Homo-oligomer: A and B are copies of this chain.
Amino acid sequence: MMGRIACANVLSDLYAMGITECDNMLMLLSVSQKMNEKDREKVMPLMIRGFRDAAEEGGTSVTGGQTVINPWIIVGGVASVVCQPNEFIMPDGAVPGDVLVLTKPLGTQVAVNAHQWLDQPERWNKIKLVVTKEEVKEAYQEAMFSMATLNRTAAGLMHKFQAHAATDVTGFGLLGHANNLAMQQRSDVAFVIHNLPIIAKMTAISKAYGNAFRLLQGLSAETSGGLLVCLPREQAAKFCAEMKSHSSGAQGASGGAWIIGIVEKGDRRARIIEKPRIIEVPPRGSLAARQDNSASGPELSTNLS
């Protein structure tokens, strides 16, 4: 899963520019000197396979790279493509009136940490009043599948629905990347975020843990999050509907999409309103998801403006 997530994250930089094809991938791997031989022989081939599988899902393949020894495991890579101007969308065309769409729920860092805390009583005690172990396990699974999901479907739909700009949401969190994107715009625009789609219960955990993740401030890292896409107002709901039709449950699905904000005239910054609406996204394997499969639909946009 770590290999898959790394590959999804590497490819995501292409997808954020609306590029759906990758010519070539390199894999960069550091093998931990602290692993014993048995673990190393077991773990590293699985990690490499995950990376390769995700590359194959992206219609590309790993042709080279480099492996080094290091105290920590590291996996990453490089995705390259040579393409025509009409194959990519420069991330600088947002205009006032556009709508902001996010294609994966937030909260993956919280989910991964909470899952580790299942075995750490001192930390678990801080959150056990707001979440069950089962809910943490479901959220962890959701986070894994979400991070391993390629943003390729979204990249393709960016062309179909005339996206004006996009970025992928990774280590700097939603607001960090939204700010970076806002800074690059040709027009005087500001991004205003009203809704935060978050894996169910992660908001409660984040609050119970003293807001250390700054999840509701949009600053929790997402590692391999979705695309944040600026779309013409009349296209946003259709984009979300089509993303949802691709996300019907299976692993490798596109993960849905949520309208989260609007583009206004402004000074090339992004902000989250004071009391954003939290959209609790049920993990796809959960009972809630099975009962309510409309949760990731575009109708959530009604709360905007």
Within 8 Å by CB of A70, from B26, B70, B80, lies B70
Q: Is there contact, CB below 8 Å, between B70 and A74?
A: yes
A82 in the interface (beta carbon within 8 A): yes
A residues adjacent to B (C-beta < 8 A):
26, 28, 30, 66, 68, 70-72, 74, 76, 78, 80, 82
Given contacts A28-B28, A82-B82, contact A76 B72 (CB under 8 A): no
**Chain B residues within 8 Å of A30, by CB:** 74
- Bound together, the chains give a CA A30 to CA B74 distance in angstroms of 10
Cβ A26 vs Cβ B78 within 8 A: yes
Chain B residues with CB under 8 A of A68: 74
Distance in angstroms between the alpha carbons of A68 and B68 in the assembled complex: 15
- Is A72's CB under 8 angstroms from B74's CB? no
Nearest-Cβ distance from residue A61 to partner chain B, whole angstroms: 17
Expressed in whole angstroms, the minimum distance between the Cβ of A254 and any Cβ of chain B is 25
- Taking the closest CB of chain B, its distance from the CB of A91, in whole angstroms, is 14
The minimal Cβ–Cβ distance linking A33 to chain B, given in whole angstroms, is 10
Determine the chain B residues whose CB is within 8 A of the CB of A80 once the complex forms.
Answer: 80
